[in-house]
Amino acid sequence: MPEQPFVFESRVRFGDTDASGRIFYVSLLNHFDAAEAEFLRHLGVAYREIQDRKVGFPRVRVECDYTGALVYDDLMAIAVTVDRIGGASFTLAFDVTVEGRNAARGKVTIVAIDRQTHRPIPLPGNLRAALETYRDGSSASSPM
């Protein structure tokens, strides 16, 4: 993990809340969607660049634990880390804090597929390289 993980800031919007007065649990995952896109852009492998008519990137698994309150207008800091890099898929982890207080932690697994056959294919080389570089960030920056 890099010493400074990528952090995406995102606000809880009024439409994200529910009648409990807090964020609706599903709505938080839309912020993960945004964080994922900005994270990959930050790595130089934005979906719009690497996605084409041949390759798609469906999500095949999501999980999230909600550990603290998130209310209207909270400015969330969503730290993104690389949890796992597989042959045809990778998993990102999202840590949500508000003013340093933990609020949620989730993971999303994305698989690369051939859009014609809908079958998994090896992760594109530049995506894999970018994920590995980011994951190994802290060791790479260490003296030896």
Binding footprint of a second copy on the chain (CB under 8 A)? 11, 13-15, 17-22, 24-27, 29-30, 33-34, 37, 46-48, 56, 58-67, 69, 71-73, 118
Considering the complex, state which of residue 55 and residue 77 has its C-beta at the smaller distance from a second copy: 55
CB of 43 to a second copy, least distance (A): 15
- Separation CA 50–CA 85 (nearest Å): 17
Interstrand relation of 55-56 and 101-111 (parallel, antiparallel or unpaired)? unpaired
CB of 23 to a second copy, least distance (A): 9
Token digits for 44?
A: 């130089």
Output 74 or 137, the one with its CB closest to a second copy: 74
Q: State the minimum distance, in angstroms, from the CB of residue 124 to a second copy.
A: 16
For 134, other C-beta atoms within 10 Å of its C-beta total 22
Phi, psi of 14 (to 5 degrees): -60, -40
Q: How far is the CB of 97 from a second copy (least distance, A)?
A: 17
Closer CB to a second copy, residue 106 or residue 137?
106
**What residues have CB less than 8 Å from 28, skipping those under 6 apart?**
16, 64, 66, 70, 96, 104, 106
- Residue closer to a second copy by CB (options 2, 109) is 109
